[in-house]
């Protein structure tokens, strides 16, 4: 029983973590909370749906194609909507992000309609029973691919030159350009990476909870944002831990409480965590300088 919940938590947590990574990386590099990120995740889901249903692509093709396509979408959004506001008050950028989100939701609503759509089963589900718990090949795939992706991102940020540049930018926006870092390029890469990861999460959501609708990005997006904050916004490790934590809390509260209480518990717990750890688990404490 416990293992069952753990597996379900890992699955849901992986999805939150993948999306949270996008929030945290963009925040790290730009100090911007990209409220359109949840909707990018949703568009990723629909993009994969299109590839699967209209072009009959197999899953192995869908994964990288969607990643690239939605990564490109992320770059375009940044270029058109956020870059002009790079030096504007932060609030203007946040409002723009909200507007971009609304735009994406409506585009999808207008083109595909509000009715939830069923995501096709792209892999033949095999169920494995182990006595007290069952799992499917799908669940295992989601968890393992997600973890591999998270490790890849971590390696990328820690070991590559671009990753180093991302970290440099997150520590000091003013002087990083003076060290020869092409800020525009790094920001684009960050957005591409974040959007790509979110689209993979979108595919997994489509496969695992096989109904998608244009408004799902809002709830999932905000929850992933919360994960990033619990983990400490700006910290990659934090986004991952936060995502899994939120997944666990949600699965466990759904298991033991009526479903109408679920959101209340999740967000109530969040408030409690923030009360004791205001900067999240891995966030940097804010130093007051007088």
Query: Which residues sit at the interface with other proteins, rule CB under 8 A?
Result: 33, 81, 84-85, 88-89, 91-96, 98-103, 105-107, 109-110, 218, 222, 225-226, 229, 233, 260-261, 263-264, 266-268, 270-271, 274-275, 278-279, 286, 288, 290
* Full DSSP string of 147-214: HHHHHHHHHHHHHSHHHHHHHHHHH-TTTTGGGT--HHHHHHHHHHHHHHHHHHHHHHHHHHS-EE-T
Q: Which helix (H) or strand (E) holds 130?
A: none
Nearer of residues 146 and 253 to other proteins, judged by Cβ: 253
Nearer of residues 24 and 139 to other proteins, judged by Cβ: 24
Nearest to 97 by CA among 223, 184, 225: 225
Please answer whether residues 27 and 33 qualify as being in contact, where contact means their C-beta atoms are separated by less than 8 angstroms: yes
* Residue partners of 217: CB distance under 8 A and separation at least 6: 38, 39, 40, 41, 42, 43, 101, 104, 105
Q: How far is the CB of 150 from other proteins (least distance, A)?
A: 22
Q: How far is the CB of 201 from other proteins (least distance, A)?
A: 20
The rounded distance, in Å, linking the Cα atoms of 200 and 70 is 9
Q: How far is the CB of 148 from other proteins (least distance, A)?
A: 29
Nearer of residues 163 and 231 to other proteins, judged by Cβ: 231
Radius of gyration of the chain (CA): 19
Nearer of residues 163 and 221 to other proteins, judged by Cβ: 221
The rounded distance, in Å, linking the Cα atoms of 153 and 28 is 14
Nearer of residues 100 and 197 to other proteins, judged by Cβ: 100
Q: How far is the CB of 209 from other proteins (least distance, A)?
A: 19
Q: How far is the CB of 218 from other proteins (least distance, A)?
A: 6
Nearer of residues 140 and 252 to other proteins, judged by Cβ: 252
Nearer of residues 135 and 227 to other proteins, judged by Cβ: 227
Q: How far is the CB of 36 from other proteins (least distance, A)?
A: 10
- Classify burial at 156, counting beta carbons within 10 Å of its beta carbon; exposed 0-12, middle 13-18, buried 19 or more: middle
Please answer whether residues 147 and 17 qualify as being in contact, where contact means their C-beta atoms are separated by less than 8 angstroms: no
Q: How far is the CB of 244 from other proteins (least distance, A)?
A: 18
């Amino acid at each position: 029983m416990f293992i069952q919940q753990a597996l379900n938590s890992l699955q849901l947590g992986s999805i939150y973590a993948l999306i949270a990574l996008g929030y945290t990386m963009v925040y790290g590099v730009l100090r911007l909370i990209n409220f359109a990120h949840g909707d990018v995740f949703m568009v990723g889901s629909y993009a994969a749906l299109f590839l699967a249903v209209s072009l009959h692509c197999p899953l192995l093709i869908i994964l990288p194609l969607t990643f690239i396509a939605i990564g490109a979408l992320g770059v375009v959004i940044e270029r058109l909507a956020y870059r002009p506001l790079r030096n504007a008050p932060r609030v203007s950028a946040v409002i723009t992000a909200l507007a971009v989100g609304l735009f994406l939701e409506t585009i999808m609503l207008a083109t595909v309609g509000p009715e939830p759509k069923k995501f096709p089963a792209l892999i033949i589900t095999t169920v494995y029973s182990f006595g007290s718990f069952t799992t499917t090949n799908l669940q295992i795939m989601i968890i393992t691919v997600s973890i591999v992706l998270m490790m890849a991102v971590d390696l990328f940020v820690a070991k590559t030159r671009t990753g180093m540049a991302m970290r440099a930018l997150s520590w000091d926006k003013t002087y990083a350009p003076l060290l020869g870092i092409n800020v525009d390029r790094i920001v684009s890469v960050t957005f591409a990476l974040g959007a790509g990861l979110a689209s993979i999460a979108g595919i997994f959501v489509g496969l695992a909870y096989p109904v998608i609708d244009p408004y799902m990005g809002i709830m999932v997006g905000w929850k992933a944002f919360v994960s990033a904050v619990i983990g400490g916004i700006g910290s990659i490790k934090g986004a991952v831990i936060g995502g899994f934590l939120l997944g666990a809390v949600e699965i466990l509260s759904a298991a033991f409480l009526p479903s109408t209480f679920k959101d209340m518990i999740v967000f109530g717990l969040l408030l409690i965590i923030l009360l004791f750890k205001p900067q999240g688990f891995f966030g940097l404490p804010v130093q007051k300088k007088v």
